[in-house]
Amino acid sequence: MKHYLSVYKKFVSTSISVETSFRTSFILLIIMDLFFFLSTVASVTFIYDHVSMIGPWQKDQLLFFLSFMLMIDNLHMMIFSQSFWEFSNHLKTGQLDYIILKPMSTIFSVFFRHFRASSLFNTPLFLGSLIYYGLKVDLAPTQWCLIPFLLILGLSLLVVIEFILSTSMFWLTDGIGINFLRMQMQQLARWPSFIYQGVIRKVLMTALPILLIGSAPVNFLFDSSHWPLLAGMILCLVVFSILLNFVWSRGLKRYDSASS
Amino acid sequence: MTEALERNIQKWWITIKVSWVKHTAYRMNFFLQMIGPALVFFFVKYNLWSSIYSADKSMIIKGFNFEQMINYHTWAFIVGMVAQGHGSWNLSDDIRMGRISSYLIYPFNFWEFHTASWLSFQCIQIGIASFTLVCVAAAGVLQLPSLEVMTMGVAYTLFISLFWFTMQYFTGVLAFWLEETWILRVMLNIITYFLSGAIIPLDLYPKWIVDILNYTPFPYLTYYPIKIFMGQGSHITQGFFIILFWTIVFAFLNHRIWKKGIRLYTAAGM
């Protein structure tokens, strides 16, 4: 663990050095995240100017949910996002050879390699929004204490599902489309589960449990009787982690190294 | 003179055909990259509005009942696919990777090559949009407008797609100075989706925002074309001139940036 932490520290410092050497891109990334935050929150606010409820939730409840999801997005952008895009490139060019040769977990060296420091600058905004709407929905002290764990849990489930999805790139000539699929999955998860109905909802809550990422923790925070959703989320995380190890090792065996 | 024109048309035609093959070579990637996002975006909006209207089926929000709201978003899907589907990925990559060196010796300009490529992309998008339109009309989700309204809507949407191309081209040629132009493109998409009425109709926005937006090209990219298709066309002439103005501005800027940028070009990898 100590070894991995020291390696990750190096990953972060080299990523920051690379990113800050292209200052315009660095600043544009911060502005891009800012626009995304503002447009998402404003859209929901404009809808609530004309309706009092969406499903069972009032404005502050939905905006708390949205802030929770945007906080997960922010952490995802910071820690993982770039690595997914680099992975599809490395597979195509054969650069992956040098990464999987390193004496550490290949999942770690592939998906934790790139840290996006620019997202760190927007974290206070996302965190501020989460705290502001948390106060509006009157969270109790114990609920506040749970938020960091629930954020980590939500982020973990999201990335494990994305890791599995990305593994399919081993079987494709060009995996860039998978990254777009990943982004669409995030878009679906950014809304509470109650807006979806029927079979689609069941599928997105079980077989591909992306709706659990935000809906399970937030529903649990609002009403602890929703604990089965949270238990389901933890179960999904365990099952999908086992599945990831299996498909990842199959994928590595399938990898035929474009550079050799 | 005629012979030169014929030769030029031949070059355009062959480039369009080559680009068509390139676009359709990886069909799954094309679907996931070009169609998938618009489809999921529509799916989310459909579910969101279904959820909102499920509280009261007869509810009218700023003049929209449930059917009209779904009609609005279906047209947003179609308009978005035709008018704003194109991205200048290849263009900026050509500059960054040093691939434009070949264009400098080809008897075919860089802008001509990318415009021909855009035309082939548009042909594919129009085909997919037409197919989608037939499917949703057959499913009873959408009522097709009269031929006159349809013609006007299609012409207006195609005109917007030309503007969108010049704007995308603009972000692409900035690759002479920027390491990553995808950030600008994504930012442009986020701003356009929000300010053009692609996420929610502009009728739901505060009036003072809409009043300001009417002086920018944004509402004319999605909101007004949808209104034309829905038979409620207004601001058509104003929109035409605003888009024309911005198309000329971006075309001029693209020309100037290319001239300046090519002096900085170092032909990476040569």
pLDDT tens string for chain A (260 positions)?
A: 888 899 999 999 999 998 888 888 889 999 999 999 999 999 999 999 999 999 899 999 999 999 999 999 999 999 999 999 999 888 888 888 888 888 889 999 999 999 999 999 999 999 999 999 999 999 999 999 999 999 999 999 999 999 999 999 988 877 788 998 899 999 999 999 999 988 999 999 999 999 999 999 999 999 999 999 999 999 999 999 999 999 999 999 888 776 65
Domain extent at residue B16:
2-264
Q: What are the beta bridge partners of residue B64?
A: B61
| Within-domain flag for B270 | no
Q: Which of B64-73, B79-88, B229-238 tops mean pLDDT?
A: B64-73
What global pTM score does this model have?
0.90
* Residue position matching structure tokens 């109709």: B201
| Within-domain flag for B269 | no
Cβ pair A196:B193 closer than 8 A: no
Number of neighbours of residue A198 by Cβ within 10 angstroms:
7
| Within-domain flag for B152 | yes
Residue A193: HSE in the Cβ half-sphere, 13 Å Cα cutoff: 22
pLDDT given for residue A93 in this prediction: 85
CA dihedral B47, B49, B52, B53 (to 10 degrees): -110
Instruction: Determine phi and psi for B61, rounding to 5 degrees.
Output: -110, 110
Nearest chain A alpha carbon to B49: A195
Interchain CB contact of B50 with A (< 8 Å): yes
Number of neighbours of residue B258 by Cβ within 10 angstroms:
17
Q: CA of A145, closest CA in chain B: separation in Å? A: 31
Of A22, A25, A177, the CB nearest to B33: A177
Q: Chain A contacts of B187, Cβ < 8 Å?
A: 28, 31-32, 35
Q: Chain A contacts of B193, Cβ < 8 Å?
A: 39
CA distances from A76 to A97, A160, B37 (A): 25, 12, 19
Helix (H, G, I), strand (E, B) or coil at A19: helix
Interchain CB contact of B44 with A (< 8 Å): yes
What are the structure tokens assigned to A210, written together?
Answer: 């992306």
The answer to whether residues B108 and B176 touch, using CB atoms and an 8 Å cutoff, is no
Q: CA of B185, closest CA in chain A: separation in Å? A: 10
pLDDT given for residue A89 in this prediction: 87
pLDDT confidence band for B190 (50 / 70 / 90): very high
Q: Chain B contacts of A46, Cβ < 8 Å?
A: 200, 204-206
Nearest chain A alpha carbon to B191: A35
3-state helix/strand/coil string of A71-84: HHHHHHHHHHHHHH
Nearest chain A alpha carbon to B54: A55
> Total structural domains in chain B?
1
Beta strands in chain A (DSSP E): none
Q: CA of A191, closest CA in chain B: separation in Å? A: 8
Q: Which of A59, A98, A87, A69 is nearest to A188 (CA)?
A: A69
Interchain CB contact of B63 with A (< 8 Å): no
| Within-domain flag for B155 | yes
Cβ pair B32:A22 closer than 8 A: no
* DSSP symbols for B188-242: HHHHHHHHTTSSS-GGGS-HHHHHHHTTSSGGGTTHHHHHHHTT---SHHHHHHH
Of A54, A187, A197, the CB nearest to B40: A187
Q: Chain B contacts of A174, Cβ < 8 Å?
A: 26, 29
Q: Chain B contacts of A88, Cβ < 8 Å?
A: none
Residue B230 is given by DSSP the state T
- The residue type found at A184 is Q
Nearest chain B alpha carbon to A18: B179
Instruction: Determine phi and psi for B125, rounding to 5 degrees.
Output: -60, -40
Chain A stretch 45-104, residues whose beta carbon is closer than 8 A to a beta carbon of chain B: 46-47, 49-51, 53-55
pLDDT confidence band for B157 (50 / 70 / 90): very high
Of A22, A39, A54, the CB nearest to B194: A39
Q: CA of A91, closest CA in chain B: separation in Å? A: 15
Cβ pair B32:A177 closer than 8 A: yes
Give the span between the Cα atoms of A102 and A4, in whole angstroms: 12
Q: Chain B contacts of A187, Cβ < 8 Å?
A: 37, 40-41, 44
pLDDT given for residue A256 in this prediction: 79
CA distances from A44 to A61, A71, A190, A259, B64 (A): 11, 16, 12, 48, 17
| Within-domain flag for B132 | yes
The answer to whether residue B150 scores a pLDDT higher than 70 is: yes
What are the structure tokens assigned to A117, written together?
Answer: 């420091």
Of A47, A54, A197, the CB nearest to B200: A47
Sequence length of chain B is: 270
Of B183, B190, B204, the CB nearest to A49: B204
pLDDT confidence band for B147 (50 / 70 / 90): very high
What are the structure tokens assigned to A23, written together?
Answer: 């200052």
DSSP element (H, E) containing A45: helix A23-48
The answer to whether residue B118 scores a pLDDT higher than 80 is: yes
Nearest chain A alpha carbon to B45: A195
Helix (H, G, I), strand (E, B) or coil at A131: helix
Q: Chain A contacts of B179, Cβ < 8 Å?
A: 22, 24-25
| Within-domain flag for B121 | yes
Cβ pair A195:B199 closer than 8 A: no
